[in-house]
Structure formats: C-alpha cells, structure tokens
Amino acid sequence: MKNYEKYKKGYFMPPVTSMNWASKDSIDESPIWCSVDLRDGNQSLIIPMDLEKKIEFFTFLVSLGFKEIEVGFPAASETEFNLLRRLIEEDLIPDDVTIQVLTQSREHIIKRTFEALKGAKNAVVHLYNSTSVAQREQVFKKSKSEIIALGVTGAKLLNEYANNTEGNFRFEYSPESFTGTEMEFALEICNEVLEVWKPTSEKKVIINLPSTVQVSMPHVYASQIEYISSNLKFRDNVIISIHPHNDRGTAVAEAELGLLAGAQRVEGTLFGNGERTGNVDIITLALNMFSQGINPNLNLENIPHIVSFYEKMTCMEVSQRHPYSGELVFAAFSGSHQDAIAKGMEYHDNNNLNDWRVPYLPLDPKDIGREYASDVIRINSQSGKGGIGFLLKENYGYDLPPKMREDLGYTIKNISDKLNKELKSDEIYELFKKDYINNETTIKLIDYHFVRNGNFHVTMECEIDGIVKTYTGIGNGRLDAVANALKSNLNVDYSIQTYSEHSLEIGSDSLAAAYVGITVDNKIVWGVGVNHDIINASIKALISAINRK
C-alpha cells in the first residue's frame, strides 16, 4: 500500500510500566457497568432517538440490571433536556439507579445541565475536556496549563452549581482523547480536578479514562490505566472508569485488560453501538465473564429479545457473527462439529454434569435464551449424521439407530447439496416422514393376526397395486413370521439385519417407533414404522424397508 509512511504512533507509553496486569489471568468480579447507550450510542445514530423512545430504552436498560445510566447531554437539545425533566418529575428512576449526564467545561452548558437535573435523587455529572496533543494544538489551540485551567474551571463550576441545585450529585471527569495524551499530563490534569473536588469515601469521584479514539494495541491501554490508577491522588476515594471505543476492533480486549490493570467501572453500550466503529460492547464483556464463572450482575437471559429491542430502537443491525448475540454464532453446519456437540450434550446428560464443557460451545446457548435445535445444529451440504440425528431426536423424538443415521445423513446432505440451500428441521422431518416412515408406496398393510403354536403363524392381508392379497408365514417370532410370509409370497430376497424400537415421547400420546434394517444385495435398506401398537409399528417398519429397496 502507498502512504503508510504518513502514519506515526499517536500514543504515549507511561514513563513507568510495571505491567502487573499481565500476570493476572482472570477478572474476578464484575465491574460497575454504566450504559452510555442513551448518550454516546444516541449521538452516533443517523436519527437520534426521540423522547418516547429514550424513555422506553431507559426502562429497558433498568430491566437489564444497569444501575448507572448516562441518559444524555441535557444542554444539547430540547429533547435531551426534556428527557431529564420527565425522568425526574415523573419519578421514573428507581432509587437504586443513578442517572448520569455529560457536559462540556463551559459555563452556559453547565448551567443548563443543572437546570435539567433539578430534583434528581442520584445523579453523576460528567465533565469532559480534551487533552490530547492533537486536540490541544489543532482544536483548542491552548497550552497544557490552559487546558488544565479549562478542566479546573469546569470542576469548580460543578461544585458551585451542585451546591445551588436541589438534588444529590456525584462527579465524573474525563480527560477526553486520553489515549492520545502524554500520560504524565493526563495524570496531572486528573489530579488537579481531584484537588478541586476532594473526593471522600461518602462522595467518591469517577475518573473516566476513555480511548476516545483507539490508537494502540490493548496492552498499551492497560499499561496507561495501571499507571494512572497507581499514581492518582485520593485513590481510595476514586473510581477508575474506562470507556473504550472500537476503532481498531479491540474495545473488548482493551476493557478486559483495563480491568486487570485496576479499572473498576466500564462505560459501554449494548452490542457496541457508538461513535464510528462503536463503544465497547457490554453484552460481550459481560458474557465473557459469565462464561468464566463470574456473575456479570446483568439480566442477559434472553439475548434474542435484547437484540430485537435494540434493533427496533436504534435501527442498527446486530451482525450474524456478533459474539454471543449474532444469529449464527452458535450454529454448527459442519458434520464433525455437529457430531462433537451432539456427543458432548449426551455426555453431559448421561453424567449429570453441571459444569459446562461441551466442545465448540463456550457457553450453554440455553442460558442466554438460544435453542439447541434451531440455533446450534443447522443442516446443509457440510452436515453429517450426528447433526441430523440430533435434530430428529431433539425436535421429533426419533432416536435413530447409528447406522440408519448415517444412511439418512447422506440422503439429506445430498438433497441440500443439490438444492444448494440450508434445510430446516421441519423440512428434514418431512423428507424423513415421506420416505422412511410407514412407507406404503408398493405394499400396504391392511390386517394381520397371529396364532402361536410353538412357532408364530401369521395370516396377513396386504394391498399391492390396488389388489388385496392374503399371505401366510411361520417364524420363531412375530416379525420373523411376517418376514417369511412376505419373502416367500413376494419372491424378494432379503434378511433382517437390525431391529430396534422405542416409545415416541414428543408430539404424540404413547406412539411407538420401530426401525428395521434389511439386507438386500449386500446393502442395508431402512424402514420406520410408527403406530400405537408396537407389533403393528414393527411390521410397518419392515414393509417400509421393503418398499424402499
């Protein structure tokens, strides 16, 4: 590619890098989550949400278990302002939920923000100003000390307006564009703001360290967080928050390493909506923790519902490969994966395993509202007997003998290959039913009765080409007698290779399924019989096999 020389590193490693985070291999507890869907998420939509949508979204975030929610930028517009008034005046904020609002360090904006917040039971006022080299030079055209003065002035104004406004307020400060800032300077400005606010254990301050624009590998961000976390004043009374964006596609990695490095709080959005490539996806982060045995303290048991709500509200789409939430992320089309998953599930059932270890599935899809049969095992020309057998068992109760699974597996995948499309579970069942179950294409069973006289003697009536015929036969069992009757009268040469049966537990009242495999010309041909009576089912299975040969 041309032009690569145009780009230089735009980040700064801290002066000291202990990298203690690198020796930890897991996150031990869930952080404080702060949803910024209604602010960062909303400010990046083509059409921002209207007031009613925002209230509905807020209520939804509360139902998911968020205790801190950035609801907007009240000075931005009438809608944003009115949202605050509605939430407060109509008492829509549960007592254990803290709302958060964003403001620039400009007095008229801070004033308007507090007007919106009047009467708030619990609110975080989030002040930001940009600190990176690029923003200082190009946008603000200010020296470092002038940038510090901007932050400090804003911090003082927050003190002043909070003292004069009814409500309970805590403060948050973000050195916006933190990742493009020299770390000593980022530390200095945060400490100066903290000196103004003087956090206490009763009134902790949030220092939020955003990767406003991702410019480095995630380990650099982790080292930056660790440096600030270890050198901040009032550290015990400060909550370190992180706010990764996703320009390099590593927001989740940054957040995880940031937590290892000392962050206690994460600002992000559902499915990573947000500026440019988005904010960090809180659902992915939370489910990463969940799948390592950590309670994320969010209610994510119904991901399909969360996806459809989110898509309706934002008009954005969750991609089919989106971790945990995309339509295809648990889907196994390929035969060997399906085989391993089906065996893994059976192993878990048979051994009553509580700890989840099924191959290919990092968590149990059922825990987040997904279905094995429709979300996990999907059938196309890459599929195998294991998956097809699993679907018939899971959805329709047919537990096919292993060799028959193979036979049906090849039949189904060849059909999928020829049609060049996925076959859904009901289509597979229809193909199976039409061809294998109670097949009457040539011979149709009308009636039968047995007499036992040492051996079994059968007299049976069958309809062949519209003509009813009566056959008799003798055998050492009932099916043997029928097999002999058909063999001698129809002049077909076959032998019964395998027989099995079970009751059908799904979609029926006490039906039985019988499976018969006959050898004809060194080839096994299968038939299935289904009836309330097991003898009837087994005779039908044999006739189905003969009809299919």
Ligand X SMILES: CC(C)C(=O)C(=O)O
Ligand Y SMILES: CC(=O)SCCNC(=O)CCNC(=O)[C@H](O)C(C)(C)COP(=O)(O)OP(=O)(O)OC[C@H]1O[C@@H](n2cnc3c(N)ncnc32)[C@H](O)[C@@H]1OP(=O)(O)O
Binding site for ligand X (CB under 6 A): 40, 102, 128, 174, 176, 208, 210, 212, 243, 245
Contact flags string 205-224 toward ligand Y, x per CB under 6 A: -------x------------
Residue 330 in tokens: 């648990």
β 238-244/205-211 pair status: parallel
CA angle (532, 536, 539) in 5-degree steps: 145
β 495-504/511-520 pair status: antiparallel
Shortest Cβ 74–ligand Y spacing (Å): 10
Q: How far is CA 21 from CA 217, 225, 234, in A?
A: 15, 10, 21
Shortest Cβ 176–Mg ion spacing (Å): 8
Three-state SS letters, 162-200: HHCCCEEEEEEEEEECHHHCCHHHHHHHHHHHHHHHCCC
Neighbours of 255 (CB within 10 A): 30
Candidates 543, 514, 539, 518; CA nearest to 528 is 514
The answer on whether 279 is annotated among ligand-binding residues is yes
Shortest Cβ 350–ligand Y spacing (Å): 53
Shortest Cβ 1–ligand Y spacing (Å): 29
Interface positions, 165-194, toward ligand Y (CB under 6 A): 176
Name the one range near ligand Y by CB under 6 A: 50-58, 102-110, 318-326, 439-447. Answer: 102-110
Shortest Cβ 212–ligand X spacing (Å): 3
Shortest Cβ 129–ligand Y spacing (Å): 4
In the chain, the amino acid numbered 114 is F
Among 37, 40, 68, 188, the residue binding ligand Y under the rule CB under 6 A is 40
Q: Does 281 bind Mg ion (CB under 5 A)?
A: no
Residue 104 contact among ligand X, Mg ion, ligand Y, none, beta carbon within 5 to 8 Å by kind: ligand Y
- CA pair distance 89, 432, nearest whole angstrom: 62
Name the one range near ligand Y by CB under 6 A: 58-66, 100-108, 338-346, 532-540. Answer: 100-108
Name the one range near ligand Y by CB under 6 A: 71-79, 233-241, 364-372, 449-457. Answer: 71-79
Residue 279 in tokens: 């904010």
- CA pair distance 60, 97, nearest whole angstrom: 13
**Is 102 or 543 the residue whose CB approaches ligand X more closely?**
102
Residue 406 contact among Mg ion, ligand X, ligand Y, none, beta carbon within 5 to 8 Å by kind: none
**Is 204 or 343 the residue whose CB approaches ligand X more closely?**
204
**Number of H-type helices and E-type strands within the chain:** 17, 14
Residue 113 contact among Mg ion, ligand Y, ligand X, none, beta carbon within 5 to 8 Å by kind: none
**Is 75 or 368 the residue whose CB approaches ligand Y more closely?**
75
**Is 40 or 188 the residue whose CB approaches Mg ion more closely?**
40
Which strands make up the sheet holding 443-453, listed edge to edge? 443-453, 455-464, 467-475
- CA pair distance 268, 262, nearest whole angstrom: 17
**Is 242 or 437 the residue whose CB approaches ligand X more closely?**
242
Q: Which residues of 522-538 are buried (b: 16+ CB within 10 A; e: fewer)?
A: eeebbbbbbbeebbbbb
> Across-strand partners of 62?
none
Contact flags string 22-51 toward Mg ion, x per CB under 5 A: ------------------x-----------
**Is 212 or 288 the residue whose CB approaches ligand X more closely?**
212
Q: Does 115 bind ligand Y (CB under 6 A)?
A: no
Among 106, 204, 233, 469, the residue binding ligand Y under the rule CB under 6 A is 106
> Across-strand partners of 88?
none
Around 480, how many Cα atoms within 13 Å sit in the side-chain half-sphere? 8
Q: Does 105 bind ligand Y (CB under 6 A)?
A: yes
- CA pair distance 377, 333, nearest whole angstrom: 6
The answer on whether 40 is annotated among ligand-binding residues is yes
Q: Does 140 bind ligand Y (CB under 6 A)?
A: yes
In the chain, the amino acid numbered 236 is D
- CA pair distance 429, 396, nearest whole angstrom: 8
Shortest Cβ 74–ligand X spacing (Å): 14
Residue 140 contact among ligand Y, ligand X, Mg ion, none, beta carbon within 5 to 8 Å by kind: ligand Y
CA 535, chain centre distance (Å): 47
Instruction: Provide the annotated binding site.
Output: 40, 243, 245, 279
Please give the residue ranges that form the binding site for ligand Y (CB under 6 A).
40, 43, 73, 75-76, 102, 104-106, 109, 128-129, 139-140, 150, 176, 212
Instruction: Provide the annotated binding site for Mg(2+).
Output: 40, 243, 245, 279
